[in-house]
């Protein structure tokens, strides 16, 4: 079964969630994506920002696993786009990254989601400055 590298920056960085959704042999690795900033509305998305960098995890999933994962109503508006990520500071790795086509409005907030994501980012040992920026 062919696997595709996917960059996760939200709660899907938690391997336990992916396994519960039917994914296996994910091979999660820490990675960064330059040129984007994290924005949280009802859920997380990325917005272009030349000076920003997003921390996340790259995992390998099959097409079937991706179809099942993004069929959930809470994430079905996300669409894949190609990106270049850096896994532990090594050479760039092409990956897909699922984002919302429309950015959340300035007043759209999900405090509970942001708290869960901050706790996960801390657990994954992302830089403290990045962790505290998650709001």
**What's the CATH code of the domain at 126?**
3.10.490.10
Query: pLDDT tens digit string along 38-97?
Result: 999 999 999 999 999 999 999 999 999 999 999 999 999 999 999 999 998 788 999 999
Q: In this structure, are residues 61 and 4 in contact, taking their beta carbons and an 8 Å threshold? A: yes
The whole domain housing 83 covers: 4-133
Q: Which stretch of DSSP H or E encloses residue 44?
A: strand 44-61
Q: pTM to 2 decimals?
A: 0.95
**Residue 94 φ/ψ region, left for φ over 0, alpha for ψ in the -120 to 50 degree band, beta for the rest:** beta
Task: Look at residue 90 in the predicted model and tell me its pLDDT.
Answer: 87
Query: pLDDT tens digit string along 85-129?
Result: 999 878 899 999 999 999 998 889 999 999 999 999 999 999 999
Number of domains in the chain: 1
Q: Which stretch of DSSP H or E encloses residue 121?
A: helix 111-123
Query: pLDDT tens digit string along 54-67?
Result: 999 999 999 999 99
């Amino acid at each position: 079964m062919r696997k595709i590298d996917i960059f996760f920056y939200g709660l899907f960085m938690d391997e336990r969630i992916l396994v519960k959704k039917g994914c296996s042999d994910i091979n999660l690795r820490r990675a960064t994506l330059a040129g984007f900033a994290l924005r949280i509305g009802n859920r997380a998305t990325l917005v272009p920002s030349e000076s920003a960098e997003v921390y996340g995890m790259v995992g390998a999933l099959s097409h079937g696993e991706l179809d099942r994962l993004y069929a959930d109503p809470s994430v079905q508006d996300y669409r894949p786009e190609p990106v270049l990520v850096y896994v532990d500071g090594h050479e760039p790795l092409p990956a897909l990254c699922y984002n919302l086509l429309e950015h959340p409005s300035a007043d759209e907030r999900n405090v509970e989601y942001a708290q869960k994501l901050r706790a996960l980012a801390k657990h994954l040992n992302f830089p403290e400055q990045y962790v505290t920026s998650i709001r």
